[in-house]
Amino acid sequence: MSKHDATPEANGAAGEPRLSRASVQRFSLYLRHLERWKKEGLEVVSSSQLGDALGINDAQVRKDLAYLGNLGQPGIGYYTQELISALRYRLGVDHTWNAVLVGVGNLARALLRYGGFAQQGFRFVGLFDADPQKVGQKIDGLQIHSPEKLAAVIAAERVDLAVVAVPAAEAQQVADALVAAGIKGILNFAPTLLRVPTHVSLIAVDLAVQLEQLAFLVHLAQQESTDAR
């Protein structure tokens, strides 16, 4: 996996243990469950509870959480709020991240309606679209700008992250403009491979590929069921 896929190993600070991508993905899942349990009044959790929630064994949970330091108490478990704070710090979401969204189509509108981004510290501060009929419209108080204003908005709002939701043919040009404007990380929904400099982190979300993988798993399970008869 390349640097452009934002591997945690490449991004770890000097002197800190290196994390696998799988561990970081579990960190996010741990955090979701912990925050829900915190709202429900659960002040202490065990590795077994976290393991059951994710469908993994408690030894893997303890191995993952060891990257955060000595937080667990023998015979007691982990204090929920302490673990939440440690996870948010290690994931880099202990503060608000400003983001822009380029390509205000149906997918983008669905993303903007999702309230979880704000709850997790991600704030959209700019919307952009090349369609003159969309420019000037507002969605949830945010005005849609033309792409020509990318650099100005990114600089004024101190934006580090961008979401790209444009057609494949336009995605590379958009990515180039974002990089030139100072964006440090791109979440790409366009079904194409983007090329960005090594100092820019890139994560691609291809929904068609994910559905293909799901279809494969279902197809494999059906084959195994047939063979077992």
Q: Are 182 and 153 in contact (CB under 8 A)?
A: no
Domains and CATH numbers, the chain: 3-91 (1.10.10.10), 97-209 (3.40.50.720)
Res 21: pLDDT? 82
Res 1: pLDDT? 33
C-alpha of 179 from chain center: 19
Res 79: pLDDT? 94
Q: Which residues of the chain have pLDDT under 70?
A: 1-18
CB half-sphere exposure, 179, CA atoms < 13 A? 16
Res 181: pLDDT? 96
Res 210: pLDDT? 86
The contacts of residue 191 (CB under 8 Å, 6+ apart) are 168, 206, 208
Contacts 24+ apart (CB under 8 A), 171-175: 174/102, 174/103, 174/147
Res 163: pLDDT? 97
Res 9: pLDDT? 42
Closest residue by Cα to residue 121 from 148, 160, 74:
160
The DSSP letter of residue 15 is: T
Res 16: pLDDT? 56
Res 123: pLDDT? 93
Distance between CA 4 and CA 91 in Å, rounded?
17
User: For residue 31, is it left (φ>0), alpha (ψ between -120 and 50) or beta?
Assistant: alpha
Closest residue by Cα to residue 196 from 181, 206, 212, 210:
181
Kindly write down the DSSP assignment for every residue of 148-206, as one continuous string. Answer: GGHHHHHHHHT--EEEE-S-HHHHHHHHHHHHHTT--EEEE-SSS-----TTSEEEE--
- Burial per residue of 98-117, b for 16 or more beta-carbon CB atoms within 10 angstroms, e otherwise: bbbbbbbeebbeebbeeeeb
